[in-house]
Amino acid sequence: MTRQDIPLLEMRKMSVSFPTQSGERIEVLSEVSLNIWPSEVLGVVGESGSGKSMLTFASLGLLPKTGRASGEVRLRGEALHAQHKRRMSQVRGREIGLIVQEPTPSLNPVRRIGSQLAESARHARIPADQIKSASIRALDEVNLPAEVLGRYPGELSGGMNQRVAIAMVLLQNPGVLIADEPTTALDVTTQYEVMQLLEGLRVQHEMGMMLISHDLGVIKAMADRIAVMYRGHLVELGTTEDIVSRPRHPYTQTLVASAPRLHPIEAAPLQDSGCPLLPGDPQLSDDHDHPPTLERDRRHVVWCWDAHHGHAR
């Protein structure tokens, strides 16, 4: 069974670089280390270009060919290597489920929902004679009727397609779920329903979860801990309460201050911290070597190049 003392998914010093037109490589993810512990929700927040989606792609070996990744991924302690294509394809879906932003394009438009669910079921080694009943059960779990099996993705709404995508993940019953902007393309009310659904299923299926979003409000509603990413770097990691109420890194402070609210607050003017937020400082690599005990203690960690902000407090 799940051991509580080792992470479900451990990402250590994950880096990703892409070539530019001039032939140099630019780093879009720099030595990011994160753990997902059993039954926790880890929120990853960042704006465009923060590298938050790269983390998923690199961990699952899904980078485009030109991308180069380094770092170590461990699933329940077992080291995964992107080169081991067979093992990776077993892991994807069966052990790590993935839900992405745009459900409609991620489904094959010319195949019925039923046949796409069946494929997931086969991937999960569900016996042929049980595939249909398993598919109906999975649809039921996401509150969709069985007749959806005969429909095409184009006939369903965005919210329904996202439910189908969740049902596909459920069929495989993975221990870890990575949800990358799962509700960004949806209407507010649908977003709320899908979030509630995800939370219910996460509890029921005892999944650990990484929820990636640009929207701190969405992250806050669900996450136990929040990792803040900025330009490829992990800049702050702490409990949800700490990050939202006591952000320490100047970038996190900006993020919290500019988060949309129904009752706008008069944000205290941010002091210019002088934090250059530039890579290359030797402190960075030291910080990223922090021991996992720090995370288990759920402590608040800040990575900054400015000595005033210090680190690991």
Partner 1 sequence: MKKFSWTSGLSLFVLALAVLIALFGPLVFPGDPNLVDLAKALRPPVWAGGTWEHWLGTDQLGRDSFLRLIHGARVSLGIAAVATLLGAVIGTLIGMLAGYLGGWADALLSRLIDIQLALPVIVLALAVATVLPPSVISIVVIIAVSTWVSYARVTRAEALVLQNSEFVALSTVAGLRLPKILGRHILPNVMPSVLVMMSMDFGKAIVFEASLSFLGLGVQPPLSSWGSLIADGREFIIAMPSLVLIPSIIVAVVALSANILGDWVRDRIDPSLGAVSAAPRAELGGTR
Partner 2 sequence: MLIECTDISKQFSRRSPRVLDEVNIAVDHNEAVAIVGESGAGKSTLGRILLQLETATSGSYRFEGREVSSLRGSAYREWRPKVQAVMQNPRASLNPRQPIWVSITEPLEALRRMGAQQRKRAAGDLLERVGLPAGILQRYPGQLSGGQRQRVAIARGLSSDPKVLVLDEPLSALDVSARAQIIELLAQVHRDLQLSYVFITHDLTTVTELCSRLYVLQRGRLVEEMTTEQMLAGPEHEYTKKLLSSVLTLDSPSIRGVA
Strands 9-19 and 68-75: antiparallel
Give which of partner 2, partner 1, none residue 196 binds (C-beta under 5 to 8 Å, depending on kind). partner 2
Is 188 an interacting residue with respect to partner 2 (CB under 8 A)? yes
Cβ proximity to partner 1, 18 vs 152, nearer residue: 18
Among 105, 106, 140, 135, CA closest to 123: 135
**Contact residue for partner 2 among 23, 109, 260, 291 (CB under 8 A):** 260
Give which of partner 2, partner 1, none residue 302 binds (C-beta under 5 to 8 Å, depending on kind). none
CA 225 vs CA 54, 135, 212, 274: distances in Å: 19, 33, 12, 27
Cα 191 to Cα 72: distance, rounded to the nearest angstrom: 33
* Buried-state track 100-116, b at ≥16 Cβ within 10 A, e below 16: bbebbebbeeeebbbeb
Cβ proximity to partner 1, 80 vs 185, nearer residue: 185
Is 16 an interacting residue with respect to partner 2 (CB under 8 A)? no
β strands within 105-259, DSSP E: 176-180, 208-213, 225-230, 233-239
Helix (H, G, I), strand (E, B) or coil at 105: helix
Q: How buried is residue 6: exposed, middle or buried, by Cβ count under 10 Å (0-12/13-18/19+)?
A: middle
Options 57-65, 137-145, 199-207, 291-299: segment touching partner 2 (CB under 8 A): 199-207
Binding to partner 2 (CB under 8 A) within 61-120 occurs at none
Question: What are the residues facing 19 on neighbouring strands?
Answer: 25
Q: How far is the CB of 56 from partner 1 (least distance, A)?
A: 11
**Contact residue for partner 2 among 15, 116, 120, 191 (CB under 8 A):** 191
**Contact residue for partner 2 among 16, 138, 221, 227 (CB under 8 A):** 221
Cβ proximity to partner 1, 148 vs 165, nearer residue: 165
Give which of partner 2, partner 1, none residue 52 binds (C-beta under 5 to 8 Å, depending on kind). partner 1
Strands 225-230 and 68-75: unpaired
Q: How far is the CB of 156 from partner 1 (least distance, A)?
A: 20
Give which of partner 2, partner 1, none residue 200 binds (C-beta under 5 to 8 Å, depending on kind). partner 2
Contact residues for partner 2, defined by CB under 8 A: 41, 47-48, 187-192, 195-197, 199-200, 203, 214-218, 220-222, 244, 254-264
